[in-house]
């Protein structure tokens, strides 16, 4: 088994699920524990300036071994797994020489990974695929990225004949809950540009993502005995239903793709007296993004006029923006990664992210940061899988990027 896979298997043993409701930084103590282990490992393999702070940010340096001054390149990955599905007690399964058929993840529960539902499986016929056992997610998002970065750095330490400039490494907490860059010290990191290893299938190269906002809607009702409720009761659940009906029915994740934005109801709970809904709002186009938020505000205004001020309360916050605006002036950063993939025999698949990465926010904080594939598929659930060969190829691409940075004069 290759080093990157052994490392990955060790990392996914550690539960690092983030928690959007904790109010802490990091949101879970397990992330801080894992951060300390990662920092110790980086020291062991020979990196310098290794640090881990109380917020669980891990930083490290591989010093330059060349005389000329070249840009400092960074590599970033996140250590948390999504709270959408259990990340505790992960039991990976190996499917060697995949034959293109159905993969039974859990026979007892009849959980099957089928190419009819997930046709991307067929791209990996003949390869080795790591899957879940159907009871947890796998954690390739983003422990595949962590494993690939650490393995590439270890290789460079062990092969000093490979020339490179200064390289910076950063591992972040709480990316899955939108807080991965909250306490990232860009100045301390000191890179001229960086790459997140947080993409999906082999070849993905992304420098465009959603503009994103979260929206919490609280609806205050009035409970009255139903036998005497006429002109008195205000059923908050029915007001919530009216709110939902005022949103475009087809502008939801299950009916959109490519550059199409959406409104996504993530959670709803309620009784007559009070109903709460949580949404995310997404669009690649900034003007359309602002229009989506404006629609939310207009619905709140309309319902407040109908049912009284204070009936509908909206708490809406921007989360991140499309990094394209910040990447366009430095497109050579994308070109480096693109050519690195080609040189490694990987066909680049340049596409817009229907989501976000730490790199989106870091780009707006002054650190241009496109996203490179880590190899996984079907993140955040029991059907997650990653081909071994994709992870190994990601390590090669990191090494090739490092090589190509030398061609740029600082």
229-257: per-residue pLDDT in tens? 999 999 999 999 999 999 999 999 999 99
264: left (phi over 0), alpha (psi -120 to 50) or beta: beta
Q: Is the pLDDT of residue 199 over 70?
A: yes
Sequence-separated (6 or more) residues with CB below 8 Å from residue 160: 65
φ, ψ of residue 11 to 5 degrees: the values are: -70, -40
Instruction: Quickly state the pLDDT bin for 408 (edges 50, 70, 90).
Output: confident
The total number of residues shown for the chain amounts to: 410
φ, ψ of residue 196 to 5 degrees: the values are: -85, 135
Catalytic residue among 141, 174, 175, 206: 175
Cis peptide before 154 (omega within 30 of 0): no
Side-chain half-sphere exposure of 156, counting CA atoms within 13 A: 28
Task: Report the sign of the C-alpha dihedral through residues 164, 165, 171, 176, in that order.
Answer: negative
Sequence-separated (6 or more) residues with CB below 8 Å from residue 280: 212, 213, 214, 215, 263, 264, 266, 319
Catalytic: 315?
no
In the prediction, which pLDDT does 409 show? Answer: 74
In the prediction, which pLDDT does 353 show? Answer: 87
Q: Which residue has the tokens 């972040």?
A: 172
d(CA 130, CA 388): 7
Instruction: Give burial (CB, 10 Å; 0-12/13-18/19+) of 276.
Output: middle
SS3 state at 339: helix
d(CA 167, CA 372): 16
Q: Are 132 and 105 in contact (CB under 8 A)?
A: yes
d(CA 101, CA 228): 61
Mean local confidence (pLDDT), 211-233: 95
E-strand spans in 271-358?
A: 274-283, 312-320, 349-350
Percent of the chain with pLDDT over 90: 95
In the prediction, which pLDDT does 132 show? Answer: 98
Structure tokens at 268: 């709803």
Structure tokens at 375: 């190899």
d(CA 111, CA 103): 9
SS3 state at 32: helix
Catalytic: 175?
yes
Helix (H) and strand (E) counts in the chain = 10, 17
Instruction: Quickly state the pLDDT bin for 178 (edges 50, 70, 90).
Output: confident
E-strand spans in 152-261?
A: 167-172, 193-199, 204-206, 211-220
**Per-residue model confidence as pLDDT tens digits over 272-309:** 999 999 999 999 999 999 999 999 999 999 999 999 99
**Per-residue model confidence as pLDDT tens digits over 87-109:** 999 999 999 999 999 999 999 99
Q: Is the pLDDT of residue 184 over 90?
A: yes
In the prediction, which pLDDT does 356 show? Answer: 78
**Per-residue model confidence as pLDDT tens digits over 357-375:** 889 999 999 999 999 999 9
DSSP 116: T
In the prediction, which pLDDT does 260 show? Answer: 96
Instruction: Return mean pLDDT, the chain.
Output: 96
SS3 state at 316: strand
357: left (phi over 0), alpha (psi -120 to 50) or beta: beta
Q: Is the pLDDT of residue 410 over 80?
A: no
Question: Nearest to residue 103, comparing CAs of 139, 137, 132?
Answer: 132
In the prediction, which pLDDT does 305 show? Answer: 96
Instruction: Give burial (CB, 10 Å; 0-12/13-18/19+) of 128.
Output: middle
d(CA 302, CA 281): 19
SS3 state at 77: strand
Cis peptide before 403 (omega within 30 of 0): no
Instruction: Quickly state the pLDDT bin for 1 (edges 50, 70, 90).
Output: low
User: Can you list the domains of the chain with their CATH numbers?
Assistant: 3-209+322-405 (3.40.630.10), 211-320 (3.30.70.360)
């Amino acid at each position: 088994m290759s080093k990157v896979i052994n490392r990955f298997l060790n990392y996914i043993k550690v539960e690092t699920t983030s928690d959007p409701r904790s109010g802490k930084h990091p949101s879970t103590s397990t992330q801080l524990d894992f951060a300390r282990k990662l920092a110790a490992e980086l020291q062991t393999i020979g990196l310098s300036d290794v640090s881990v702070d109380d917020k669980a940010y891990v930083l490290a340096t591989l010093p330059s071994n060349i005389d000329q001054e070249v840009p400092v390149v960074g590599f970033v990955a996140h250590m948390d797994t999504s709270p959408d599905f259990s990340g505790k007690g992960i039991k990976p399964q190996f499917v060697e020489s995949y034959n293109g058929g159905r993969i039974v993840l859990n026979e007892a529960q009849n959980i099957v990974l089928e190419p009819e539902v997930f046709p991307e499986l067929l791209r990996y016929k003949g390869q080795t695929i790591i899957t879940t056992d159907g009871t947890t997610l796998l954690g390739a998002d983003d422990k595949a990225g962590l494993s690939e970065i650490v393995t590439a750095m270890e290789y460079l330490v062990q092969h000093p004949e490979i020339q490179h400039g200064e390289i910076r490494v950063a591992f972040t907490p709480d990316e899955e809950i939108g807080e991965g860059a909250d306490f990232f010290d860009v100045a301390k990191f000191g890179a001229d540009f960086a790459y997140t290893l947080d993409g999906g299938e082999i070849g993905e190269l992304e420098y465009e993502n959603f503009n994103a906002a979260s929206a919490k809607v609280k609806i205050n009702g009035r409970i009255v005995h139903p036998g005497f409720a006429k002109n008195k009761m205000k059923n908050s659940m029915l007001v919530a239903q009216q709110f939902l009906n005022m949103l475009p029915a087809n502008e939801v994740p299950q009916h959109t793709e490519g550059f199409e934005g959406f409104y996504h109801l993530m959670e709803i709970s309620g009784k007559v007296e009070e109903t709460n809904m949580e949404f995310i709002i997404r669009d690649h186009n900034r003007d359309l993004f602002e229009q989506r938020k404006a629609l939310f505000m207009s619905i709140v205004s309309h319902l407040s006029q109908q049912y009284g001020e204070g009936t509908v309360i909206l708490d809406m916050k921007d989360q991140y923006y499309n990094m394209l605006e910040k990447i366009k002036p430095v497109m050579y950063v994308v070109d480096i990664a693109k050519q690195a993939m080609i040189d490694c025999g990987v066909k680049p698949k340049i596409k817009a992210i229907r989501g976000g990465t730490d790199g989106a926010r870091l780009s707006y904080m002054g650190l241009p940061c496109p996203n490179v594939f880590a190899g996984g598929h079907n993140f955040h659930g029991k059907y997650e899988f990653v081909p071994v060969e994709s992870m190994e190829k990601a390590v090669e691409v990191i090494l090739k990027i490092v090589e190509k940075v030398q061609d740029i004069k600082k």
